Chain A
Amino acid sequence: MRSSRLLHIPFWLTYVFLYAPIVVLVVMSFNSGESAYTYEGFSLKWYGELAQNELVLKGLVNTLIVATGSTLIATVLGTLLAVGLARHTRSKALEALALMPAVLPDLVIAIGLLLFFGMIQLTLGRYSVVLAHGLFAMAFVAAVVRTRLSGADTSLEEASRDLGAGAVTTFMKVTLPQLAPGIVAGALLAFTLSLDEFVIAFFTIGNLEQTLPIVIYSMIRFGVTPEINALAAILLLVSFTAVIAGQRLTKIGESRAQD
């Protein structure tokens, strides 16, 4: 088919377009020279520099605290919310509300939280970002767990209730084990999202602290260096690994649900 072959051009262009910048960035992180543009030879020295960069290390600690804290909030609240929405209400409005943080522009959420934290006079820092990231991460966890719930067999839950178990017992002993792969996948997603999130963190962290994306952002303002490339390459690797692990988990969950 001639028309079909013509379509191959934009198809391959898409993949080159998507991956060329990433490949160049990673290659340049191994540059032995000072420039982020001209490759001179292989070296790991910029990765070494990173390990001694105070700002980067502090940013890493903040990022890990924020991602861990917000993932905990998002996983617990998001899972409960998903079960509640799937089994205990038919309200379309509540469902829309639960998805809202994932749909609204991040900038709108960011300024809303900035105003709100200002009003309740919460000191801005990594803990205000934990609360902020918990919000949108919860929406994603709820969505992932919800998808698994709607595909799941409800007969076990019904049997448990018929045998006299209450809602909470049924949840702990029957629903939760069935949902486990979905919950882990949701938590992984929440962690990755928080790790990479910039806009909301930028608005709600205040002036005294930084997460890694904010560190990168402010480093770029002082010029482009292979050191930024090294940091970027590490973060890319972490995100890719988390996404692929999440993908695997969802698959395991699916095949187990079919058994």
Chain B
Amino acid sequence: MSPSRGRRLGAFVFLSPGLTYLVVLLLVPLAMVLSYTVFQRGRFGGVVYEFTTENFTRLFDPLYLGVVVESLKMAGLATLIALLVGYPTAYLITRLPGRWKTVALVMVVLPFWTNFIIRVYAWIILLSGEGLINSGLEAIGLGPYELLYNQGAIVTGLVYSYLPLMVLPLYATIEKLDPQLREASANLGASGFTTFRRVTLPLTLPGVMTGSLFVFVPSLGNFVIPEMLGGGKSSMVGNLIRKEFLSARDWPFGSTLALALIAALLVLLVVQAWVARRA
């Protein structure tokens, strides 16, 4: 066997099983989602293959547009809070001595590898009327407050679930930063805050973008947290998609909502790549 034929055979043996799996269970399903957006709904779920643009017009119905705007707001707020908490945390981790650095990083990531439902459930216990936070507040003569089943609870749940995804990329970029740059800035008379604003922050902007993307994207498409912590009162795009597929049975419109979600994600990816290239 000639070496080049051996090479091609190797490529085939190693790549074809996984790629077949990816084509059948990823690309074909995605193509189906895409195609459903221009068809009409079947009476009991499914699809009728007749062309329509109605799904896209419906997307701009104030009712759905309102949900989209609301989701963007909540996902944005969760991202901002995660950034404000995550940046100083990541910064301090880079300053820790070697062994503690690993421990601190693992401690940040560990909750992320546990069951998502359980992590959200834990907040029901904490925030509920009889929960620990309200009991504590009562002990000092405050409350009880309605902490659960509102937008604040949803944002808390989102920050809690995705904070590790903010800290990791921030840590990676801050760690790479040359400490001499900060020293030079300080030696030239800049205050700590000025150094941060003019040197550290601009140089770690790619990490800020990546972390924000990692928090924003899963927040936007989430339906579990709004349902469990929002009490179903306020819904997000994820809830709409879930409803269209599992109860309203309007698969074409559900697919259109999903396409909108993917489009938002692609726009953000392009922005992130642009920032990364400029930095």
- 6 shortest interchain CB distances as A-B pairs: A112-B29, A84-B14, A167-B10, A81-B18, A21-B122, A88-B11
Cβ-closest chain A residue relative to B221: A105
**CB neighbours of A84 from chain B (8 A):** 10-11, 13-15, 18
Cβ-closest chain B residue relative to A15: B107
**CB neighbours of A111 from chain B (8 A):** 33, 241, 245, 254-255, 258
* Interface pair A115/B251, CB less than 8 Å apart: yes
* Interface pair A116/B25, CB less than 8 Å apart: yes
- Determine chain B's interface SS by DSSP, over half rule: helix
* Sample (17) of A-B pairs whose CB atoms are under 8 Å apart: A7-B88, A9-B88, A10-B89, A18-B160, A24-B132, A97-B22, A107-B242, A108-B33, A116-B28, A116-B32, A118-B46, A166-B9, A167-B9, A167-B14, A232-B122, A235-B118, A239-B113
Task: Give the interface size bracket for B toward A.
Answer: 35 or more
* Interface pair A21/B126, CB less than 8 Å apart: yes
A235-B32 Cα distance, complex, nearest whole Å: 35
- Using a CB–CB cutoff of 8 Å, the interface residues on chain A facing chain B are 1-4, 7-11, 13-15, 17-22, 24-25, 28, 35-38, 73, 76-78, 80-81, 83-85, 87-89, 94, 97-98, 100-101, 104-109, 111-116, 118-119, 131-132, 134-135, 138, 142, 166-168, 171, 192, 195-196, 198-199, 203, 213, 216-217, 220, 224, 228-229, 232, 235-236, 239-240, 242-243, 247
Looking at the complex, which one of B30, B106, B245 makes contact with A114 (CB distance below 8 Å)? Answer: B245
List 7 extra interface pairs beyond A18-B107, A24-B125, CB under 8 A.
A1-B192, A25-B122, A37-B130, A73-B21, A111-B241, A131-B25, A138-B18
* Interface pair A21/B15, CB less than 8 Å apart: no
B73 on interface, CB distance cutoff 8 Å: no
A14 touching B89 in the complex, CB below 8 Å, given contacts A36-B125, A166-B6: yes
Residue of A36, A116, A216 most packed against chain B (CB within 10 A)? A116
